[in-house]
Amino acid sequence: MSDNPHEVLLALEDFDRTQLPESQRELQGDEFRSAVQDHLAAEFLDGMGAAEVVVTGNRIIIRWTDSALTKSVTERGIDYLKAGDYGKGIATLRLAIQRDPPDAAALFNLAMALSDRGDLDESVELLERLLKDHPSHAHGWVALGVAHARQNNDAAAIEALRMAVRLNPQDGYSHKNLGAILSKSGDRTQGIKHLRRATELLPSDPATWLNLGLTLEDADELDEADEAYLQVLSIDPTGQLGQRAEKGRSQIAEKTFRARGGDVRPDAFSYCLGALQRFEGMAKPEIQKISFEIAMLGTRGLDVNDPEQKYKLNSIPGKFSGLHLLCIEYVGFQLIDPSIDLGFDLSAEYAEALRMHKKG
């Protein structure tokens, strides 16, 4: 191994031929050396043009020229990962470990990249090497817990993440991951405890609030779950997490709605019947206009369980409760396109209202 910190020496026989195009994998002699050199030169070329690859005899030499901008092999690998180039990042960090096997930064970042890519067995192996030499590496324990969780090895994941929390109780990501895996494994009480702590430490992380909301909803702690979903919407109102929180709020509203009204809610039945009467003889574009306006209003939240809360529309006069508007919207979309799922089931009330409307 070279004493130059910017140079890596490898045995040519250790080169993995599968990295080459299939047509070059059986080459021998100088042709093979040339193919390896071309491949590695392209692999490690960067924006500064500082990588030099020489393949001679039975050796591969990868050298970064000394300059004020030159970084260590490990730093270069990490930079590639940050830029999203996992191929170069992983290859460069492998070189860093070959040059310096105990390199903690290289082991950790390579293991994280492999875990994200789905190479979980190798990721776990690298993290265990890291933690054997650096047992207080809290982030290493978090990464090991995540890798085990991705392997569906919940017991090992919980053990690793508990170690991470013990080493750094102020790390929100440790609590977040431990809370999620505990909840998944059936220990909701402890899971919720850690997720609540994670939201205190990571108040601007929508994923943490969403995990808390989902777990609270599963535990039927619906009021607090709804508050967690509202936090998601305040941080990520239009993103995927916000959409998932909106769905969660709709599910909570429906659960509460059914708990208070039995199989058929009389008020919802009455609102559906009124909507059928309102829409009778109305042109489809006008029904669409009303229904779409309610749908847009619903993206900002409609409280279907508070009859005192009132809303206004531009398309029709008056003030309406959230449940009243939802019933009008439901009936409107049944008339426009019944295949559309609004995420709230009023089919029983609608069927009864439709039966009465036809009779009348």
Q: How far apart are CA 4 and CA 1, in angstroms?
A: 9
Q: Average pLDDT, stretch 128-155?
A: 96
121-158 burial code (b ≥16 CB/10 A, e <16): eebbebbebbbeeeeebbbbbbbbbbbbbeeebbeebb
Q: Average pLDDT, stretch 159-170?
A: 97
Q: At what angle do helices 266-279 and 347-359 cross, to 10 degrees?
A: 50
Q: Average pLDDT, stretch 282-298?
A: 91
pTM, to two decimals: 0.65
pLDDT in tens, 27-84: 898 899 888 887 877 676 554 445 677 888 888 887 765 543 456 788 888 988 999 9
Confidence of residue 360 (pLDDT cuts 50, 70, 90): low
Q: Which range, 1-5, 133-137, 343-347, has the best average confidence (pLDDT)?
A: 133-137
Specify the higher pLDDT residue, 241 or 76: 241
- In this prediction, residue 49 carries a pLDDT of 45
Among the residue ranges 28-42, 209-223, 251-265, the one predicted with the least confidence is: 251-265
The alpha helices in the chain, defined as continuous H runs, are: 29-44, 73-82, 86-99, 104-117, 120-133, 138-150, 154-167, 172-184, 188-201, 206-218, 222-235, 240-261, 266-279, 284-298, 322-336, 347-359
Q: DSSP class of residue 91?
A: H
Nearest partner of 122 among 133, 113, 131, judged by Cα: 113
**What tokens were used for 172?**
């929100």
**What tokens were used for 236?**
């990520």
Confidence of residue 114 (pLDDT cuts 50, 70, 90): very high
- In this prediction, residue 47 carries a pLDDT of 45
- In this prediction, residue 6 carries a pLDDT of 62
Q: At what angle do helices 240-261 and 266-279 cross, to 10 degrees?
A: 110
What are the residues whose beta carbons fall under 8 Å from the beta carbon of 183, sequence distance 6 or more? Answer: 191, 192, 195, 211, 215, 218
- In this prediction, residue 1 carries a pLDDT of 47
Q: Which range, 1-5, 71-75, 319-323, has the best average confidence (pLDDT)?
A: 319-323
- In this prediction, residue 238 carries a pLDDT of 83
